[in-house]
Structure 1
Amino acid sequence: MLFEELKQRRTIRKYTGEDIPEKLLNELIETACRVSTTGNMQLYSVIITRDKEMKEKLAPAHFNQPTVTSAPVVLTFCADFNRFIKWCDWRDAQQGYDNFQSFFTAAIDALIFAQQFCTVAELAGLGICYLGTTTYNAPQIIETLQLPKYVIPVTTITVGYPSEIPEQVERLPLEAIIHQEKYKDYTREDIDRLYRDKENLAANLKFIKENNKKTLAQVFTDVRYKKEDNEYFSEVFLKIIKEQGFRF
């Protein structure tokens, strides 16, 4: 069944040398465009990067993750109000989209579009890897891809034919994310129960030891996503959003 196939999905970071035909890639993108979008405005764009030199220019913005230069295709998904604002301006329509609400609306559109692309790409036999580094170094990406005013990169996806199928990473139990009718806050006992399996996985126990930490949570707070890094990249991203034309 389709559900079972989707439940078996994995993030793919290593690819074969086989290229993705332009016809197939365009068909996948066209299919993804059928996803829901705010007011049917389609406030997104995607930059396709195949050129080796361009991928090498993008790599530092993604902390030189090998998947950026080894993937046959790198896709940068952007929140894009540029196109819609130009349409309004050139049709004598007074627009007011240079604000936070508009940016956030476009970001939602772009992320839904990106996820739909990932789903159809995987169903077509391709592998994808989502890069969360896009918003960290948005200024470099904007410069490299020559993104105009009102266009902000929000996520990057590498895509190609898998060269290996890695083990599936863990997920929290369904109980952890479902709330019936109203939000039911978590007790200490709830957190202990819901995170127990995750904390006791051999791979995560090894991760704790390698990083000289006492708990898995400390790996996240002290190593992977540190407070000072979050605050720094927040300032960088907010600044570039404003520089790209959105007023907060």
Structure 2
Amino acid sequence: MLNLLNQHRTVRKYTDKPIDSELLTKLLEATCRTSNTGNMQAYSIVVTTDATLKQQLAPTHFNQPMITQAPVVLTFCADFNRFTKWCEQRQADPGYDNFQSFMASTIDTLLAAQTFCIAAESEGLGICYLGTTTYNAGEIIDILKLPKLVVPITTVTVGYPADLPEQTDRLPQEAVVHFETYKDFTSADIDQLYAEKENSDFYKQFVAENKKETLAQVFTDIRYSRKNNEFFSDKFLEVLKKQGFLSVIN
């Protein structure tokens, strides 16, 4: 298992080989064993294999080709709709139309997504996690017909790899692991932790292509700018209000 986890690669190109329905069912069964808040399983997984629906979803993910090429697209959703309906049908008063419940269901959702990814990779499949789902959550809600108290959180494409891509670089462990309490970073720590990334030929070319002075500027000015972050923040907050998770906030 440790070897599997350490060999993870993001797979964006897939063969034409379909995923056997029995295998997909087994992967989803394993996913549904994931740890979750209060054993409420406040998440849902929408499995999309229909070509027309994938074409409709593609623009919501900025037309990344994996969406239409992958045999299976899974949209993992925070879902308090099902649990709320069960409560109401059992003479219980649900109180899950709030931000705390949204956060709990989001955590459940992401745990389930990661379980699926590991299970899929263990069976020789390749996966690609898309961080674009919350950017256009409203449009995805319309396409997948998600009711109130259901919000898409992340999307995973899955299929048999057409090639074996290089592993994406990662920061050294000491950048993300803190023992006992959080140890804040000095300027020297930051220089050391990002040195390998900044000095790689790949990222030097990345900086040059984007006509920036530093790699950090590529992130702040182009990839994840303040303007875009604020725009998509406002957009997603409106989705949460529409879907009923911010009903107690004025």
TM-score bucket of the superposed structures, by smaller chain: over 0.9
The whole-number CA distance in structure 2 between the counterparts of 1:139 and 1:95 is: 24
The whole-number CA distance in structure 1 between the counterparts of 2:197 and 2:182 is: 23
Q: Secondary structure of 1:141's partner?
A: helix
Q: What does 1:38-53 correspond to in 2, within 5 Å?
A: 38-53=37-52
The whole-number CA distance in structure 1 between the counterparts of 2:241 and 2:105 is: 15
Amino acid in the other structure paired with 2:85: K
The whole-number CA distance in structure 2 between the counterparts of 1:79 and 1:95 is: 16
Identical aligned residues as a percent: 59
Q: Deviations 1:86-113 (Å, cap 9, x if unpaired)? A: 0000000011110000011001000100
Residue of structure 1 in register with 2:110 after alignment: 111
Q: Which TM-score applies when normalising by structure 2?
A: 0.98
The whole-number CA distance in structure 1 between the counterparts of 2:157 and 2:179 is: 36
Q: Deviations 1:150-175 (Å, cap 9, x if unpaired)? A: 00000000000000111111111111
Offset at residue 26 of structure 1 (A): 1.1
Kindly indicate whether residue 165 of structure 2 is the aligned counterpart of residue 166 of structure 1: yes
Offset at residue 177 of structure 1 (A): 1.0
Q: Which TM-score applies when normalising by structure 1?
A: 0.98
Q: What does 1:126-205 correspond to in 2, within 5 Å?
A: 126-205=125-204
The whole-number CA distance in structure 2 between the counterparts of 1:156 and 1:138 is: 11
Q: What does 1:1-248 correspond to in 2, within 5 Å?
A: 2-247=1-246, 248=249
Q: Secondary structure of 1:139's partner?
A: helix
Q: Secondary structure of 2:152's partner?
A: strand
The whole-number CA distance in structure 1 between the counterparts of 2:189 and 2:200 is: 18
The whole-number CA distance in structure 2 between the counterparts of 1:70 and 1:218 is: 32
Offset at residue 33 of structure 1 (A): 1.2
Amino acid in the other structure paired with 1:110: T
Amino acid in the other structure paired with 1:199: E
Cα-Cα RMSD: 0.6
Q: Which structure 2 residue ranges, 5 or more long, are not aligned?
A: none
Offset at residue 57 of structure 1 (A): 0.2
Offset at residue 8 of structure 1 (A): 1.1
Amino acid in the other structure paired with 1:12: V
The whole-number CA distance in structure 1 between the counterparts of 2:186 and 2:58 is: 42
Aligned residue pairs total: 247
